[in-house]
Chain A
Amino acid sequence: MPEVDLTIEICGMSGDGTIAAGGLLNAALSKAGFFLMAFDSYPAEIRGFGRCVTRSRVGMEEMLALASETHVLISLDDEQSLSRVPFLAKNATVFFDNRPPSFVEEGRSIAAHVGPDVTLLGVPFRDLTARATGTTRGRNLTALGAFAGAFDLPPGPFHEIIRKKFDPKGEKVVLANIKSFDAGLQYAREKLDRSAKGIFPVPQKTGEETDRVLLSGNTAIARGALDAGLKLYFGYPITPATPIMEYLAKALPEKGGRLLQMEDEISSIGAVLGSFYAGGRAMTATSGPGLSLMTELITHGVMAEIPAVIIDAQRGGPATGLPTKTEQSDLHAAVFGGPGDSARIVIAPTNVSECYGYTVKSFQIAEKYQTPVIVLTDFFLDNRVENVGMPRAVPEEIFDGNVYPDPSLKDRYRRFERTESGISPRSIPGMEGFLFTTTGLEHSEIGVPDYAPQNHMLMSDKRHRKITGAMADLPAPREFSKGGSLKVGVIAWGSTFGSALEAVRKAEKKGIRAGALKITSIFPYHADIIREFMARCGEILIPELNYEGQLANLIGHLFRKEVQRLDRVTGEPFPASIILEKIESLAK
C-alpha cells in the first residue's frame, strides 16, 4: 500500500463551522481506517471574529506529531487563510470559494497569494450549498465534500458521521447537511481537474476492522477518571481544561457520581481534598492560573497526607497569558510550587493513550502514597485528537489503592506512623477504633501539632521517603534508539515528545546515531535511568515549549556537561523539523 502522510487544514473565521468541519473530517477518516492526529486552533474570544484552523495529519501508521507543512488547505475565509499560505508544502492543493458574495480587491483572495506550484481549486461553496439546501449555512460541509470528491474518498463514512452528529437535531437537519456534503462531492467529481498535480486518490484501507476510537486528550482524561472510579468532580472552568468538566458533567451523573462547579479553584481543590479525606475518589482540572491558586491547599495535601488528583492543562503564560495557545511552562510550578518542602508526584503523559492510562494510574498512586498527584498536560495534548486503541479494561486492583490499617492496631492507631516506606496505613473517617486528627501544621505520628526540631526532621524525611518510593509505581523513562552509544540523545516530555521521536527517526534515516528518551515521571524522576542514557550520548538535547528550559533545569545536572536546550514559546506545537535541524547541527 502506498505511503500516505497528508496534512489537511481547514481555515475560516469564527462561526464558519471550521472546527465542526474538522471534527467531521477526522471522524470520517478514522472510520475509513486511517491513523490520524488532529489539532484545532481558535481565538480566545467567544465568537464573532478571529481565525479558526483545524489541522489533521492522516496516514497509514500511528502519527507522532503534527507536520509543519500543509498539503491540502480548505479555505472557508480567504482573509483568514492568507496566514496559512506560508505553511503550504510544495505542490500543495488549495480549495477556496470562487463565488464569494461580493467582488474583492486584488490581493484579498487567496488565489492572489499561492505560489505557482500550488494547485488552486475553486469551488463555489456558497452557491452549491444554497442550491442544495436553500441556505449557505452548510458550506463547510460542501467544502468537505469537495475535498472528498477530489481525493476519491468514499462518501459512506462521511454520511455516517454527519448523520450521527446531526441526528439529535432531527432528520431535516441531517439531510440538509448530507445534501451540502454531496453537492461539494459531486462538483469535485464532475468539474475539478483531478489529474492536477497535488491531487491523488487516497488509497483505501480495506478489510481491516478497527476498534480504534477518536479521542482528544481531554476526553481521554475524563474517560480515564471515570474508569478509575471517579465519584466527585469539583472544578472551575478554564481553558484548556474545561472540556474535561463538560464531558464529566454529562457522564459522571450517569455513573452515579456528582459534578459541582465551584466558585473558584481554591474551593475546587479544597473539595477534592475533603472528598479524598472522606474516602471518595475526586478530581479537579485547571490550568496555570488555577494551579497557582490551588498551590497552598496542594501543600496542605502533602502535609496532611491526603490524596488528590489535579489535572493541570498548561497554556501560554504567565498570568492569563495565551489562553488558547500551547506551552509547557508550569513544570516548575507543578514540581516546586508552594511553601515548604512540599514534594508531590507530577506525571506528564505524552499522547492521548497516556492521557487515559496515566489518569487511571494517578488515582491509584495518589491513594497508595497519600499525596496529591498532578497530571501535567498542555493545550496541544488536551485538544489534539488521535484515533487510539480502545482502552483496556481497568484492572480490579486499582479501584482501591489505599493502604488500610491492620485491624490489630485498633485503638492503637497512629495515622502518621513513620514506616520504612514512609507510607502510613490510612483509615477513612468513620472506621471504628481508627480515629485521627488531621492538620496542616507539622504534626506527630498521631496527628497533633508538634514543632519539635527532631519531629520536623523525621516527618519531612518520612514524606520525602514516600515520594521517592513512588518511583517503583511510576512509569520509567523509555528509550527509543538502536542502543549503544549515540551521537545525540533527545530527552523530551509531554506533547513535545512525539515531535522529538519523529525527528530522531528521521535523523536515524539520515544515518545519524540518535535516540530519544521519553520522560513521563517528572517528579520524582528516575535519575539512574536518565543518567545511564545520558552517559551513552555525545550531546543531550532537551526541546521544550517554555522559555526557561524547565525540564533541563530539573534533570540537566545529571549530564557530565551542559545539556543543549531548545526552548520555544510560539504558542504552537513543537515542529519536528526544528528538532531535526538541531540534531543535525549537533551531530556534525
Chain B
Amino acid sequence: MSGQHFLVIGNGPAGNEAALTLREKAPDAQVTIISRNLGGSYCPHLIPDYIAGKIPEECLFVVTPDAYTDKNIKFRHGQRVVDLDPMKKTVILDHKEVIPFDGVIIAVGGKPRIPEYLRVFEDSLLTLKTVEDARIWVSMLPETDSVLLIGGDLTSFAVSKALIHLGKKIYFMLTEHAFWPLRPDGALLDEVSQRLACRGVEVISGKRLKSLTRPSGKCVAARFDDGYELEVGMIGAFYGLTPDIDFLRRSGFRMDRGVLVDEFLHTGFEGVYATGDCAQIYHPDLRDYWVSIGHANAVILGRTAANNLLGGEDQTAVVAESIFEVEGINVNTSWWMEF
C-alpha cells in the first residue's frame, strides 16, 4: 500500500473509523479525510446533553483535528467534495482543487430532512445535526421560554429531555411521522404521548401545521389547520436524516436514496466504497437493500469498508437487533428497510 492515497469523504462515526482503520492497516499509505464541517469527529448522540449544558462542547468530539495530525492523517475540514469521478479516480473540491486517489470511502452521512410542504418555512425551523447547529441552539435557548418540536424522530426525544432539564416549556407535535424512520402503531403513539405528558410536555396531536410567522425577532407564531395558534421562542424540526449525496448524481453510481452497494460495501467501481448512513446495502438473504442507523452500526460499517478497500472480504454484519429506547419504550430499529 506504500505511496497509495486513500480518501475518506466525511468524518462522522463511519468515516472516522474508516480513516483510523486505513491508518492502522496501511501505515505507509497517505490517508486524507475531507469533511464539509469544521472541527473534529463528534458524537451526534451527545448533542442533546451539550445543549442541556450537561457537558462542555469539547466533550462532543471523539477525535480532535490535532489528533488526526498526530496519526498522520491529513484532515481537510470545511472543504466540500462537489464531484467524484470513479473512472478517473479523482474528486473535485468546492474550490476547484482536483485530488487524485487510489481508493475512496464515501461516508458523508445524512443531512436533516425537511418535508417538502415545510420547506417554505425553512428559515424559521431549527435543525440539530451538526455542532454548528448545536451552537445556534445554545445561543438562542437562554432567550427562549418555550420550544415547539415538530416532526419527531429519535433525536427529538433526547432534545425534549434536554429542554425539560433547562426548564423550558415544550410543545411536541406528535404525528404518525413522529418516529421517522420508524412507523409506530397507534398504541405506541398513545403510550409515548402519555409519557411525554407526565414529564410536563404539552403534546399536540391530530393537527397539521399550516403557517409560521415571526411577529417579533424573539418569537415564532405557529398556526394549525384547526385554527389553533401558538407562540413560541423556537421551533425545532426533527424529521430524521436523508443521505447527503447530491454531489454524486453525475458520478455514475447506482443510487436510490443512498448509494447502492453490495454486502461488501463496494459500489461496483474499483477502489470505491460507500458506508454509514449514506449507503444502501444489499443483503443476499433479503434480496433487498437495507440502511443502517445508529452510532454503533456506523462504526462497524466504517471499519468494514476500510478493510475491504485494503483487500479484505468482510461481509457487512447486520446486527440482529438494535434497540433504541424512546421514553422508556424499547423500539427495534434494525432491519429497517423503508426509506
Interface residues of A (CB under 8 A from B): 96-100, 102-106, 108-109, 111-112, 115-117, 119-122, 193, 195-197
Contacts and interface: CB of A to CB of B under 8 A. Distances in A.
15 contacts: A100-B95, A103-B92, A103-B96, A109-B96, A112-B76, A112-B97, A116-B65, A116-B69, A117-B65, A120-B79, A121-B78, A122-B94, A193-B38, A195-B136, A196-B38
Contacts of B39: 197
Interface in B73-108: 75-79, 92-100
B76 A193 contact: no
Contact of B98 (A96, A103, A119, A197): A103
Contact of A106 (B98, B135, B136, B139): B98
Contacts of B94: 98, 122
Contact of B95 (A98, A116, A119): A98
CB-based closest 9 A-B pairs: A116-B65, A98-B95, A116-B75, A109-B97, A195-B135, A120-B78, A106-B99, A103-B96, A196-B38
A116 B61 CA distance: 14
Nearest to B38: A196
A122 B96 contact: no
B241 to A, nearest CB: 19
Given A105-B97, A117-B66, A197-B39, 18 more contacts: A96-B95, A97-B95, A98-B96, A99-B95, A100-B95, A103-B97, A104-B97, A106-B99, A106-B100, A111-B93, A115-B69, A116-B66, A116-B68, A116-B69, A119-B78, A122-B79, A193-B78, A196-B38
Contacts of A98: 94-96
Nearest to B97: A109
Nearest to B136: A195
A103 to B, nearest CB: 5
Nearest to B135: A195
B132 interface: yes
A106 B132 CA distance: 28
Interface in B109-146: 132, 135-136, 139
Contacts of A111: 76, 79, 93, 95, 97
Nearest to A121: B78
A143 B6 CA distance: 34
Given A103-B92, A116-B68, A120-B79, A193 B132 contact: yes
Contacts of B76: 111-112
Nearest to A100: B96
Contacts of B136: 195
A104 B98 contact: yes
Contacts of B38: 119-120, 193, 196-197
B132 A116 contact: no
B157 to A, nearest CB: 26
Nearest to B39: A197
A197 B131 CA distance: 12
Nearest to A120: B78
A8 B39 CA distance: 22
Contacts of A197: 38-39
Given A111-B93, A115-B69, A117-B66, A122 B78 contact: yes
Contacts of B78: 119-122, 193, 196
A106 B78 CA distance: 16
A103 B93 CA distance: 9
A97 B139 CA distance: 30
A404 B285 CA distance: 113
Contacts of A195: 132, 135-136, 139
A190 to B, nearest CB: 11
Nearest to B5: A106
A104 B66 CA distance: 27
A106 B96 contact: no
A122 B66 CA distance: 21
A108 B77 CA distance: 17
A115 to B, nearest CB: 7
Given A116-B75, A195-B132, A109 B69 contact: no
Given A193-B132, A197-B39, A120 B77 contact: yes
Contacts of B79: 111, 120, 122
Contacts of A102: 96
Given A116-B77, A193-B38, A197-B38, A122 B69 contact: no
Interface string B179-223: 000000000000000000000000000000000000000000000
Nearest to B37: A193
Nearest to B91: A106
Contacts of A104: 96-98
Contacts of B92: 103
A104 B97 CA distance: 5
Contacts of B95: 96-100, 109, 111, 122
Contacts of B66: 116-117
A119 B65 CA distance: 11
A331 B304 CA distance: 69
Contacts of B75: 116
Contacts of A122: 78-79, 94-95
Contacts of A109: 93, 95-97
Contacts of A117: 65-66
Interface in B10-65: 38-40, 65
Contacts of B77: 116, 120
B112 to A, nearest CB: 16
A99 B97 CA distance: 10
A109 B78 CA distance: 14
B274 to A, nearest CB: 22
Nearest to B100: A106
A78 B16 CA distance: 29
Nearest to B99: A106
Interface in B254-289: none
Contacts of A121: 78
A199 to B, nearest CB: 10
A120 B68 CA distance: 17
A98 to B, nearest CB: 4
